[in-house]
Structures are given as structure tokens and as C-alpha cells.
Amino acid sequence: MMLKTSSNKVNPATNMFKLGFKRNLGILVLVIIGFLLVCPAYLLINLNNVGTSIADRQAFFTAWNDGFSLFCGIACGIAVVGINLLNFSFMFRRPSSDFTDSLPVKRTELFIARVISGYILSIIPAIISLVSLGIVSLFIVKTAIILRLITNIFYVLLVTASMSAISMIFIVASANVFDFLVSFAGINGGLLLFGLIITTMFEDLLLGYANTATLKVLKAISPPFYAYYGFVKHLYSSSEGLINLSFIIRCAVTTIIFFIFALLLYRKRKTENSGKAFAYKFIYFVCAFLISICASYVFGAIFADGTDYTSPIFYIFALIGALISSVVYGAVTFRGFKTLKKSLIVGGASFAVLVASVFIIKSDLVGFNKKIPQIKDIKYVTVDLTGETITLKDPQFAIDLHKKIINNNYAVNASDIYGPNCHCVDINYVLNDKTTLKRSYWLCTDKIDNEIDALLKSDDRFDGILKKLSRTTPSTVSFYQIDNNGNEALCDSYLTYEECIKFIKIYKQDAKNTATNLSSNHLGHYTISWNGESYYANEFYFDESFEETIKYLDSLNLKDRIQKYEDTLLTDIVYD
């Protein structure tokens, strides 16, 4: 019988905490030495290979800071799961469990003491190593990686706490090490695969799905993925600030909830469940369901030679896959076929969920296909047309185009995109609440010739191109001309920045004055491209009615420039 009180003078939980540290002190010291040998010792050894300037060395230290922080986050996440498993391994053996429960310490105290000790043991080597990196950087580069390093340490602490909380749910719910490992890997891996399956269904069955929801789905259903994705984004995203407050709050809240849930499970856990497969059977059903539904989809896709949702073969083998995987998992978990009926029910249920998901998505019961935001909710909208993104000042044009595509069923399935004059048109709404709504349609663009022509001639398009040019101010811009027969009339010629600006303005005026529809695919085109913040390229369709543009290009003698370029290239080859 477990005692319900603890001494006020000597708290047994505190003594257990200290005992855990003393017992693992030797291993802890060895791990700390190993971390320090990697960072900063290895860093200092390779410092001579870096330039001597402060800027070069600061960049070197910054790269080490981020890279080693990521390594620490992963290593601490793995370590805390392993240490938690060791600290609570007494639950998996009936004598050890009985003995621990007989100690004069409350279960809550025992849980908190062992979780905290496991957490501290797992993070100490990483923190010491990262702090030493900061101290060394102060002596060598004098400045600015300290604030970044402090935030990195905070993120390491956060993701490690998240992994600790998640692992404790599985440890408490399992009744032996093997089934903990199977359920921990099966559920976390199964959630990721299930998320990919769902988003693949969206892509296959929803017209307009822009394949942007995959990350959102994975982050929503997999806490470990969310934690480490947010950490990696913090380290390597150029658009990410020093602190992502929304990520921190969500990760911290879910971590606290998981710890509370694990504690409640531990307090209600029965000692006699030690040594069985699971102390709580819900963990078996969740794992069995995820394994079965993933296997169901994979079997169907393999034997139907792809995800053909109209093929009976897909569903026949999906059912077979669900039943086989559920029965095998049940046999492994319960060491035999004693639960065959239960396994078949789980497999059948997972297959039913797969079929229902296909029906719900294909029938668009959630209204995805016809969803168009109201103009009052839109901050701005971009339309991506054949690789060129045009930002529209007036969202109404995009709304009208979107309605025309939906109401007239102009979008085609992925299997039909290889028809003549078929292009992808993306409509991306950025809403006032900072969320986005993106739709991507494959269209036979002769259906929306007038809309494409209006976009290609719009002030918004040309203002956007000129803005990109003026922001990067390239010294030269690569220029090509392809005539309407597909011949290279001008190739490997260059315009100066000023000439390019003038060309665009003259072309814009010609485009507005001509009756020619620029969406027609028999037109020739000019191409300009340059490198700035990234690589930019724009195509300008034309015919003989673009008189002023042609006259201006003729005045530049671009063919002479091409000849000079080729002569220079030939000379370089001869001398080489």
C-alpha cells in the first residue's frame, strides 16, 4: 500500500531526485566531455581555416551556433525519451512497481521528481557546451552571437520539454519496453504518414488544391514534428524573427497539457498491469488504427498501380491491407492470435474511415471547391500565370476570374493537363487576419483568353516588374527574342538597366494600344532575366503591331552586341 503523506522535513521525492543524479553522474560527466570536444574544441581547431576578419569569424561562429543548436535539440530530445524510459522502467515489472508504490512518497511527487531529473540530465551537456561556445565567441569575435545563442538555448529547452511530455504519455500507457517502442514509433510515424495520405487525397480529389496544406496538416497532427519544424524554421528561415511568439506559446501549452495528461494516467495506473502489453488499451487501438489505415492506402495504391479512387481493385486490396496489418500488429502485441476478432474489427474500421474520407473529400462536403473570400476580408491578392506572379491592387478582378473558373467548370484534372494550351493559374488571397487562401487550377487557357490578356496588359503587372528592377538595379539584363515561328531572332544579348526600363515602358504602351490578344500562343516573345535577391524572368508577347517596341530595339543594334559577345567568347576559348 502506498503512503499518502510525505515528511515535511525530508521530502522523499527530493532524495530520489538527488539519488538519480548521483547514480548517473559518471555518465553525465562523460557526455559533457564529449559535447565539449565537439563544441567548442573542434570549432577552435578549425578556426584557422576561416578568414581572419571579424566578419568572417562571426559568420563562422553564427553557423556553428545554429548547426550545433539543432544537433543539441535532436540529441536532447532522444536522450530525454531514453532517460524517462529508464526512470520509469520500474512500472514494467510487478515487484519493482509494488516496491516503488510502497515508498512514503506520493505518486505526483514521484512523477515530477523523476521527470525533472530526466529533463535536467538530458539538457546539461548541451547547455554547458552552448554556453562555452558563447564564452569563446566573446574572446574571438567580441560581439553579436550572444543574443542569438540565448534564444537557441531557449528553443532547445522547449523542444526537449515537448519530447519529454510526449514520451511520458506512451511510457505510462505501456506496460513493457517493447510495446512502448512499437507504439511510440508507430503512432508518431503513423500520424505523419496519415497526414501525407490525407493531403495526397486533397491533391487528387479537390480541384484547386494548391498543395500548400501539407505542412499545416503535419504540424497540426504531430506534436514532435511541430516542435522540431518550428525550431528548424527559427534557425534557418530568413523571414523568421528572433522569437516566434505564437510557436512558443502553442508548444508550451501543448507540452503542459501532455504532462498533465501523463500525470493523470500515472496516478490512475494499476500496478497489476505491469508486464502486459499496455496499461491503457487506448494506446493499442490508436496505434492499430494508424498502422491499418496507412497500410490500407499503401496496399491499394500498389496493387491498383496508383491511387485510382474509381477502381474496385484499389478498394479490394485496401481492405486486404487493412485486415492483414491489423491482425499482424495484434499478434505481435498480444503474442498470438488471441485477439483475432478485435484485430479484424480495427482493420475493418480503418478501411471504412479510408472510404469515408475519399467520399467526403471528393463530394466536397466542406465546401472547399467553391470557397471564395469576400472582398472586405482581402488584404491583397496575387495571380501566378505561367510562372509570373502579378500582385493586384483591386482584388475584384481575381474574385471575378475565380468565380468564372468555378461556375463554368473550367478546371481540368491532373490527368488532363497535357492538352494543347493548358496552363496552371494560381490565385493566392492574403487576408486581413494574415492567413492565406490559395487555389491552383489547371486550365485550357483559351477559356479565359480575355482575362489573361487583361492581366498581361495591366498596370499592376508592369508596376511589379519595374519595382523589382528598381529594387535590384542590375547593371545588365539578359535579353532574348523568339519570333512566332520559334526561331531565336536575338539571343545572348544584353540591355543596360536604363535600356531595360525604357523597353518595358515602350512595350507597355504598345500593349495597351494593340488589339492583339497576348494570351494567344502563336505570338513571339521577348524574355528579360536578371539576378537580384533571387532569379527573375519575364516574357513579353508581341507581333508586328508592336511598332514602337520593334523600332526601339532596332535602334540598340542588339545583333552587333551578340556578335561582340560571340567574338569575345571565341577569343577566350582560343587562348584557353
The predicted-structure confidence for 328-369, as pLDDT tens digits, reads as follows 999 988 877 878 899 999 999 999 999 999 999 988 888 888
| Shared-domain flag, residues 24 and 125 | yes
pLDDT of res. 76:
96
Amino acid making up residue 282: F
Cα–Cα dist 83/517, whole Å: 69
Specify the 3-state DSSP secondary structure of 576.
Answer: coil
Amino acid symbol at 216: K
CA distance 333 to 187: 14
Listed residues 237, 270, 303: the one ending a domain: 270
Task: Name the domain boundary from 362, 388, 406.
Answer: 362
240 and 296 together in one domain: no
70-107 pLDDT tens trace: 999 999 999 999 999 988 988 888 777 777 777 778 88
Domains of the chain: total: 4
* Contact present, 378 and 395 (Cβ < 8 Å): yes
In this structure, the answer to whether residues 109 and 213 fall within a common structural domain is: yes
One-letter amino acid of 400: D
| Pair 265, 175 in one domain | yes
Count of residues making up the chain: 576
Q: Residue 276 domain-assigned?
A: no
Q: 132 and 205: one domain?
A: yes
User: For 173-207, what is each residue's pLDDT tens digit?
Assistant: 888 888 889 999 999 999 999 999 999 898 888 88
d(CA 397, CA 404): 11
pLDDT of residue 417: 56
The verdict on residue 119 lying in a domain is yes
Low-confidence ranges of the chain (pLDDT < 50): 1-10, 565-576
pLDDT of amino acid 7: 46
Residue 453: Cβ-neighbour burial (10 angstroms; 0-12, 13-18, 19+): middle
Residue among 39, 37, 32, 25 nearest 67 (CA): 39
146 assigned to some structural domain: yes
Residues 395 and 317 in one domain: no
What's the longest Cα–Cα distance across the chain? 99
Domain membership of residue 242 (yes or no) is yes
Q: What angle do CA 225, 230, 236 make, to 5 degrees?
A: 120
Domain edge (last residue) among 307, 334, 362: 362
In a domain, 43, yes or no: yes
- Containing domain of residue 58, as a range? 12-270
User: What pLDDT does residue 567 have?
Assistant: 46
Q: Sign of dihedral through CA atoms 566, 486, 531, 512?
A: positive
Q: Are strands 436-444 and 524-531 parallel, antiparallel or unpaired?
A: unpaired
In a domain, 534, yes or no: yes
Q: How far apart are CA 390 and CA 394, in angstroms?
A: 12
Same domain, 100 and 189: yes
Q: How far is CA 208 from CA 382, 413, 438, in A?
A: 15, 9, 8
Q: What are phi and psi of 422, to 5 degrees?
A: -105, 125
- Asked whether residue 93 falls in the same domain as residue 183, the answer is yes
In a domain, 566, yes or no: yes
Helix (H) or strand (E) holding 524: strand 524-531
pLDDT on residue 380: 92
In a shared domain, residues 427 and 543: no
Output the pLDDT for position 120: 92
Say yes or no: 403 and 465 in one domain: no
Residue with cell 524572368: 537
CA distance linking residue 32 with residue 24, whole number of Å:
12
Look at residue 1 and tell me if it is in a domain: no
**Whether residue 249 sits in one domain with residue 225:** yes
Strand partners, 130: none
- According to DSSP H, which parts of 174-277 are helical? 177-205, 214-221, 223-236, 245-268
- Pair 185, 244 in one domain: yes
